[in-house]
Structure 1
Amino acid sequence: MSRITPLEPPYEAEIQSQFDRIMRGAPPLMLFRVMASNARAWEKFRAGSLLDRGPLDLREREIVIDRTCALTGCEYEWGVHVTTFAQAAGLTEAEIRATVREGAGAPCWSAPERALISAVDALHARATLSDDEFAALSSHYDDAKIFEIILLCGFYRTVSYLANGLRLPLEEKTARFPKG
């Protein structure tokens, strides 16, 4: 059970409307129900405005999110994203596994994806990019995409802090980290 009690239905009309917009009619995730139990936290979370697609394509976005969540040990959010978006993003089983177990050196990644994952790893480890890491990233991605990559890393690190720190139970039918 979560360390903070999630909202239970029926939800206030405004909250229900927000859940419907984010979840497209599916039941709200535990994360959203817990966050919405605190009006200020929920508003700040939604104000992050990174729940939309942005300039990255779905595959790039999901690689950034999956790798960030894997590095923070956030099986909750990693599983939600893999279950919801991996197929549409064209991620193979080997690539999904590599987000957790291998990283940028896995042979399944293209050169742009290796630069992308290396940037995620650097931001996670050092909260910065070296000149070489930035040059590798910028050789494949424009400024708008670089901003989005950095913002997504920070946003999903925060999401990971929330899910891990509040000990959110894993969603029932979501993916789990690959073994070994």
Structure 2
Amino acid sequence: MTETRLCWPETSVPRVAPWAPWLRYIVPGTTQFLWLLANHPRLLSRMYVLEGVAEFGQFVLAANTHRDLEIVILRANWNVGHTYHFAVHAFWGLVRESVLGGPRAGRGFVAAIRQGRDAPYWNKRQAWLIRAADELHNELAISEETVRALRGHGYSDGELVEFAFVVGHYGLLGMLLESAAVPAEPLIPEPAPAERPRLPRPFAKNRGGIASPWRPGNDDTLLVHPVLRWALPRYARSIERVSSLDVHELVQAARGLDPGADPRRRVLFAAVAELYSEYVLSDTTWRQLRNHYTDAQLLELCTLVGHLRTHEMLTGTMVSLATPGRGTRRP
């Protein structure tokens, strides 16, 4: 892979082949669907049950406001270097902010996402949202301090859990689409190379509280967010019927257990650690995995690891939410 400073590496090993790639120039917004549809249509159909909640259901199902979610989503994509969704959301964020405050406001919004919580563009409440997204990236949880601060700005526990879900979900999409070498949408400007960071985090072993990538503990964990509590278990039952990988083996890998001498397990465990820290499968790892797995199974791998990481964020944040103190207003 050719490394570019602060960018996703450019893949040199062929990944998955798209179906009718020319359609992306005729029907905008279809690129990711075309690439995944050709290689694992059943996974795509199940995965977008949650994608619909995260991406298209914001105005109806989300507990948070659309603008707050967009701030967190953009920062999450920026942190993991996920070009596809960062470009799409940055484009529409620039349009929205330009309409509300003029072209300078639009450019300032996207620049502030890149700069982080210290950007003068943010008010105090928005700066804490950026910090929450950064903590979820680095520690897989919103800290107790940040929970107290956001409660002081009027956020409910359900809204904070929702932030954890969307950060994890877009990290999953980054792992999946970047590992599959899905290109950016042709009609949306792609971030310049120096503006595409890839912030690695050291591989931290799973704390052991999650037995499956599909369930964040028991269903009562999500009592504070009825929509997620309803959607995740149903999604779990559906997706587990689609995946051909051994879920328990992936959990062992996430916990940093010894893979033993089996070459397949050694490659798999190394791939899980790489996804946790780099959010993309390197050329070397992809090539080694292809000796044991199909392209469809590698897409399952990225999805499973992404969900395991998302559910660690949910359970870690729920621990922080056990601290007392709730806010009553949101300036």
**What's the TM-score, normalizing by structure 2?**
0.46
Q: Specify the code of the residue in structure 1 equivalent to 2:79.
A: L
Within the candidate set 141, 149, 158, 1:136 is matched to 149
Aligned to 1:67: 75
The residue matched to 1:6 in structure 2 has which SS? coil
Structure 2 match to 1:14: none
For structure 1, the residue ranges without an aligned partner over 5 or more in a row are 12-25
One-letter code of the match for 1:161? M
- In the superposition, relative to structure 1, how do residues 67 and 158 fare at CA in structure 2: closer, same or farther (>3 Å)? same
| DSSP 3-state at the match of 2:81 | coil
User: Could you say what secondary structure the match of 1:97 adopts?
Assistant: helix
Taking structure 1 as reference, are residues 155 and 76 closer, same or farther at Cα in structure 2, changes over 3 Å only?
A: same
After TM superposition, the structure 1 = structure 2 runs for residues 89-104 of structure 1, keeping only pairs within 5 Å, are: 92-100=106-114, 102-104=115-117
Residue-pair matches, total: 166
> How many Å separate the matches in 2 of 1:7 and 1:85?
30
Which whole-Å CA distance do the structure 2 matches of 1:28 and 1:77 have between them?
11
Aligned sequence identity (%): 24
Contact preservation (8 Å) 1:62, 1:86:
no
Residues 94-145 of structure 1 show CA distances to partners (whole Å, capped at 9, x for unaligned) of 2201212x10111110111111110000000110122101112222222232
Correspondence for 1:50 among 50, 54, 58:
54
Q: Which has the larger radius of gyration?
A: 2
1:41 to 27, 40, 43: 43
Encode CA deviations 1:16-64: one digit per residue, 9 max, x unaligned.
Answer: xxxxxxxxxx534211222223123212321213121012222111111
Q: 2 CA distance for matches of 1:40 and 1:125?
A: 32
Q: Per the alignment, in what secondary structure is the counterpart of residue 67 of structure 1?
A: helix
Report whether the alignment pairs 1:176 with 2:195: no
What amino acid maps onto 1:50 in structure 2? A
Q: Please show how residues 2-41 of structure 1 align to structure 2 within 5 Å.
A: 3-8=15-20, 26-37=27-38, 38-41=40-43
Contact map agreement 2:141 2:164 (CA 8 A) in 1: no
Letter in 1 for 2:127: R
Moved more, 150-159 or 168-177: 168-177
Q: Structure 1 residues 106, 85: closer, same or farther in 2, change over 3 A?
A: closer
Judged with a 3 Å threshold, the aligned counterparts in structure 2 of structure 1 residues 28 and 174 are, in CA distance, closer, same or farther, namely: closer
Q: Cα distance, 1:4 vs. partner?
A: 1.5
Normalising to structure 1: TM-score of the pair? 0.80
> What is aligned with 2:179?
165
Write the deviation string for residues 74-93 of structure 1: whole angstroms up to 9, x where unpaired: 12210011223442255621
CA contact (8 A) 2:19 2:34 kept: yes
Counterpart pick for 1:154 among 147, 168, 172: 168
3-state SS of paired residue (1:50):
helix
Moved more, 116-125 or 132-141: 132-141
- Return the alpha-carbon distance in structure 1 between the equivalents of residues 158 and 84 of structure 2: 28
SS state of the match for residue 89, structure 2?
helix
Tell me by how many angstroms 1:176 deviates: 3.2
Higher relative contact order (CA 8 A, sep 6+): 1
Greater Cα shift, 122-131 or 78-87: 78-87
Distance 1:87 1:164, change over 3 A: same
Q: Give the distance between the partners of 2:78 and 2:129, measured in 1 at CA.
A: 15
Instruction: Please tell me whether the aligned partners of residues 93 and 106 of structure 2 are also in contact (alpha carbons under 8 angstroms).
Output: no
